[in-house]
Amino acid sequence: MAQNRRGCGCAVVVAILFLAIIFALWYFIFRSREAPLPPPSGNELQVHVLDVGQGDSILIISPEGKAVLVDAGDTGRGRAVVEALRRHNVAEIDLLIATHAHADHIGAADEVIRAVSVRRVLDSGVRPPTRDDSAANQNNANGRNANGRARATRGGGREVTLPTTRAYEDYLTAVRERVANADENYINAEPGQRFDLGGGAVITVLAPMEPYFTRDQLRSGGNEPNANSVVVRLEYGRFSMLLTGDAEAHACWTGNYPTQITREAETQWSREHEPVPTD
Ligand SMILES: [Zn+2]
């Protein structure tokens, strides 16, 4: 009888293990499969790289006419961006993506937000460093909060206003003052978020992911705002484009990025920039 009971117990354990393996396989297969893209409408998807001198500003117009602006150029360049928007008949920006808090990417964001209706804003919530590196690192490692998101420097660090910090504060103020229902429409970037632009065009957020890069993790002059840039993939049918802000090649190889983005980044960087580091 004792032997029979042991045999029965083993069968139950095997059955539980079997079910657990089936569940794990189902879970990983199901979870790893991204939802399929909507079919392309056949209308034109436009990507305009705006001439803002130093820095970036990229305008995407979806096949259904929705406009996405990725960065807004340096402080004082807002007029060039706004004129470009008017040239392309953009009356409203559906989504403004501020890739990272450096002045040459978000310096003119406040000017644009005040000149053109902006429905939603997406950023990483990682604030720029101050001169006080230790305090800044502490901020950047944890630098997100739900509402104000720009935390004061902690640890008694001396806060010094740099041009980038000023640009970031001006950007935050403009978002709070001009973006309707900012509690909902000012969005923290998280991997996997999808923005359907209509007509089959989709933007998917790939980075940053927590824990954010800190200065200590970055070698050879890397910096945290760059490494923690919002990275998105724009897709339309068989076309896809990776928009990386200032995410750096070596940041891509320190383990924070998912395999998928690493592969895409390798292709893009090896084509456009310096050779991808192998260490
Ligand atoms: Zn940068």
- DSSP result, 24-70: HHHHHHHHHSPPPPPPP-SSPPEEEE---SSS--EEEE-TT--EEEE
- Rounded CA-CA distance 271/135 in Å is 37
Give distance in angstroms: CA of 165 to centre of ligand 1. Answer: 13
Q: Which tokens go with 155?
A: 């640890």
- Whether the full predicted model's pTM is greater than 0.85, yes or no, is no
Q: Smallest Cα–Cα separation from 225: which of 116, 103, 131, 89?
A: 103
- d(CA 118, ligand 1 centre) in Å: 23
Q: What is the CATH number of domain 33-135+161-269?
A: 3.60.15.10
Q: Are 155 and 134 in contact (CB under 8 A)?
A: yes
Determine how β-strand 117-123 pairs with β-strand 92-98: parallel
Compute the distance between CA of residue 113 and CA of residue 90 in angstroms, rounded to an integer. Answer: 13
Residue 225 Cα to ligand 1 middle (Å): 6
The letter for the amino acid at 92 is E
- The alpha carbon of 183 and the centre of ligand 1 are apart by a number of angstroms equal to 26
Q: pLDDT tens digits, the chain, 279 residues: what are they?
A: 445 555 667 787 777 787 777 666 665 555 445 678 899 998 999 999 999 988 899 999 999 999 999 999 999 999 999 999 999 999 999 999 999 999 999 999 999 999 999 999 999 998 887 655 444 444 444 444 333 344 334 334 455 567 788 999 999 999 999 999 999 999 999 999 999 999 999 999 998 888 888 777 766 566 788 889 999 999 999 999 999 999 876 555 555 555 555 555 555 544 444 444 443
Q: What is the pLDDT of residue 12?
A: 79
Q: Give the per-residue pLDDT at 263.
A: 57
Q: For residue 253, what pLDDT is reported?
A: 52
State how far the alpha carbon of 45 is from the alpha carbons of 31, 82, 187, in Å: 29, 20, 24
- Compute the distance between CA of residue 114 and CA of residue 109 in angstroms, rounded to an integer: 9
Return all residues near 129 (Cβ < 8 A) that are at least 6 apart. 136, 137, 139, 140, 215, 223, 224, 225
Expressed in angstroms and rounded, the spacing between residue 243 Cα and the centre of ligand 1 is 13
CA–centroid distance, residue 100 to ligand 1 (Å):
7
3-class state of residue 23 by DSSP: helix
Distance 203 CA to ligand 1 centre (A): 21
> What's the pLDDT score for residue 248?
74
Output the CA 106–ligand 1 centroid distance in Å: 10
CA 57 – ligand 1 centroid, Å: 13
